[in-house]
Amino acid sequence: MKTYNFLGYDFGATSGRAMLGVYDGEKIELSEIHRFSNDPVELNGRFVWDLPRLFYDVKQALVKVANQGIKLDAIGIDTWGVDFGLLDKNGNLVGVPINYRDHMTDGMMEKAFSEVMSKEEIFRHTGLAFNQFNTLYQLYALKCMEDPGLDIAQQLLFMPDLIAYLLTGKAGTEYTVASTSQMIDPNTRDWAWEVIDKFGIPRKILGKIEPAGVVRGTLLPQVAQECGVDEHIPVIAVAGHDTASAVAAVPAQEDDFAYISSGTWSLMGVEIKKPLTDKSVMDANYTNEGGICDTIRLLKNIMGLWIINESKRVWDRRGNTAGYGEIVEMARKAPAFKAVINVDDPRFLAPGDMPARIQEYCRETNQPVPEGIGEIARVIYESLALMYRWAIEALENDMLKKPIKVLHIVGGGCNNVMLNEFTADAIGRNVVTGPSEGTVIGNLMVQAMAVAGVKDLPQLRKVVANSFPTRTYEPTGNKADWDKAYAKLLELMKK
């Protein structure tokens, strides 16, 4: 059988990489081609993505492929959700894509609920969780600011579609990433036009929704010539939302499983066929996002390793340059359950002095204040595990009305053994971890669906299970201690 070479670009909120996947029909092997930082910048009062630099690195990966003599069969791109670029009538970029952590959306949800459409009505139409950075509120903010870019725009492209456009010159809108916008009807898998019209968003900027797996186009001749590769390489619209790619790569062989895509964010949920949009889902701030093969990802965005990553940046600037492994060992030696934080408190969203914010939160909630790297890190890791328990119990008790047997964790966060142990103890059931490269594996395997004969999601997951090892963690901790800490979290979430 033919061996295929796929190139998967996986853009995270802080870094990106291009990975080669070699698929022989039964297994896929990975190797890194290019890794680069993703450093948003403050530019003229806006927090923006450095798109020109990111596209430079996209081309650098192609140059390295050419230099290694690799003949590619396809290319795919996944990124974070919600953010976008706007194109004018000539197909040129209008401004620079704004980062979802920019403050322009502060207060926009509340303003929208009072002046445009109620929270309940928005959820009824979209089934999406409420986050102030959702595309809907970004566009509403631009409209309220009378931003001229919105008037000029002829096309909105989400970040993976925008990068694919720069490679191919072909514009398109892939379903999974569009489903993060709070502008998609999860029942029709099309734009929620009533919401869009109510918010005054121009219909003309929204393109036809395409399912994951379609061929977007081939490389522009000038891009291929500059990089030294074949211009006929197809660019596949894979599951453009990184979480959708990660969920596709969950190597589950059983039913009734939940997943976490663990990285900057922890995305916990289940895979279902039809969306759930009742009040219990809205109250738990769960979301119905699109998956591959006509699935819905019923999940919750939980503030994930962003909190420890941002804390580490602060410690690094102060000269405490311990690596992540060292931080985990410091946390192991710190006292257990000194304090609990609600990791989804809004103060933890923006960049800044995260350790100080954690200490401030503990003072405000009359808890002992953690001091030093180890104590603060342990509070973060324990609190994440406790929030996972809340999220999985909300699924079982309020939405699915059935037990979840096992939790699969994919993504870079599954390499944190201590957090995996804490999670198994907190949720009281087995945790299966791996593969750590879940997002890019899902990206590559959707390329295999498009051009290499992988027929469906079960076959895709069988290839993943054949290709990468997993590890199972069983609960071993003191249940009474975890129950007590969980009760504390529930108190904090009521405030």
| 315 and 214 belong to one structural domain | no
Distance CA 205, CA 201 (A): 8
In 3-state terms, the chain is what percent helix, strand and coil (to 5)? 45, 20, 35
| 211 and 259 belong to one structural domain | no
Of the residues 208, 241, 274, the one at which a domain ends? 241
**Residue matched to tokens 């890791």:** 381
Q: Which domain holds residue 130?
A: 4-241
| 203 and 290 belong to one structural domain | no
SS3 356: helix
| E strands, 404-446, in order | 406-410, 431-433
In a domain, 444, yes or no: no
Of the residues 222, 241, 260, the one at which a domain ends? 241
Instruction: For residue 181, report the phi and psi dihedrals to the nearest 5 degrees.
Output: -85, -20
In a domain, 440, yes or no: no
Token readout for 252 is 């589950």
Write the DSSP symbol of residue 98.
B
Classify residue 353 by burial, with Cβ atoms within 10 Å: 0-12, 13-18, 19+: middle
Q: What is the pTM of this model?
A: 0.91
**Residue matched to tokens 């070479």:** 5
The residues with which 185 forms a beta bridge, in sequence order, are 190
| 38 and 179 belong to one structural domain | yes
Asked if residues 168 and 217 have their Cβ atoms less than 8 Å apart, the reply is yes
Question: What is the model's pLDDT at position 236?
Answer: 98
Of the residues 216, 241, 266, the one at which a domain ends? 241
Query: What torsion, rounded to 10 degrees, do the Cα atoms 44, 49, 52, 56 define?
Result: 150
How would you label 48-70 residue by residue, b for 16+ Cβ within 10 Å and e otherwise? Answer: bbbbeebeebbbebbebbbeeeb
| 390 and 424 belong to one structural domain | yes
How would you label 272-288 residue by residue, b for 16+ Cβ within 10 Å and e otherwise? Answer: eeebbbeeebbebbbbb
Distance CA 37, CA 339 (A): 33
Question: What is the model's pLDDT at position 139?
Answer: 98
| CATH number of the domain where residue 236 is located | 3.30.420.40
| 199 and 335 belong to one structural domain | no
Asked if residues 13 and 6 have their Cβ atoms less than 8 Å apart, the reply is no
Question: What is the model's pLDDT at position 68?
Answer: 98
In a domain, 490, yes or no: yes
Name the domain count of the chain: 2
In a domain, 292, yes or no: yes
| 132 and 263 belong to one structural domain | no
| 130 and 267 belong to one structural domain | no
Identity of the amino acid at 404 = I
Catalytic residue among 57, 78, 242, 425: 242
In a domain, 264, yes or no: yes
In a domain, 475, yes or no: yes
| 304 and 202 belong to one structural domain | no
The string of DSSP letters for 260-300 reads EEESSEEEEEEEESS---SHHHHHTT-EEEE-STT-EEEEE
Q: What angle is formed at CA 34 by the lines to CA 28 and CA 38, rounded to 5 degrees?
A: 115
| 47 and 19 belong to one structural domain | yes
SS3 153: coil
- Verify whether residue 242 is a known catalytic residue: yes
In a domain, 446, yes or no: no
Distance CA 253, CA 461 (A): 8
| 272 and 185 belong to one structural domain | no
The string of DSSP letters for 329-345 reads HHHHHSPTTS----TT-
| 227 and 316 belong to one structural domain | no
Asked if residues 419 and 412 have their Cβ atoms less than 8 Å apart, the reply is no
Q: What angle is formed at CA 195 by the lines to CA 194 and CA 201, rounded to 5 degrees?
A: 105
Count the alpha carbons within 13 Å of 247 in the hemisphere toward its beta carbon. 28
The runs of H, that is alpha helices, within 14-152 are 51-67, 108-115, 119-126, 135-144, 148-152
Question: What is the model's pLDDT at position 477?
Answer: 86
Question: What is the model's pLDDT at position 1?
Answer: 73
In a domain, 445, yes or no: no
Question: What is the model's pLDDT at position 182?
Answer: 98
Token readout for 165 is 């456009």
How would you label 429-442 residue by residue, b for 16+ Cβ within 10 Å and e otherwise? Answer: bebbbbbbbbbbbb
The tens-digit pLDDT sequence of the chain (495 residues) is 799 999 999 999 889 999 999 999 999 999 999 999 999 999 999 999 999 999 999 999 999 999 999 999 999 999 999 999 999 999 999 999 999 999 999 999 999 999 999 999 999 999 999 999 999 999 999 999 999 999 999 999 999 999 999 999 999 999 999 999 999 999 999 999 999 999 999 999 999 999 999 999 999 999 999 999 999 999 999 999 999 999 999 999 777 899 999 988 899 999 999 999 998 899 999 999 999 999 999 999 999 999 999 999 999 999 998 999 999 999 999 999 999 999 999 999 888 999 999 999 999 999 999 999 999 999 999 999 999 999 999 999 999 999 999 999 999 999 999 999 999 999 999 999 999 999 999 999 999 999 999 999 999 999 999 999 999 999 998 999 999 999 999 999 987
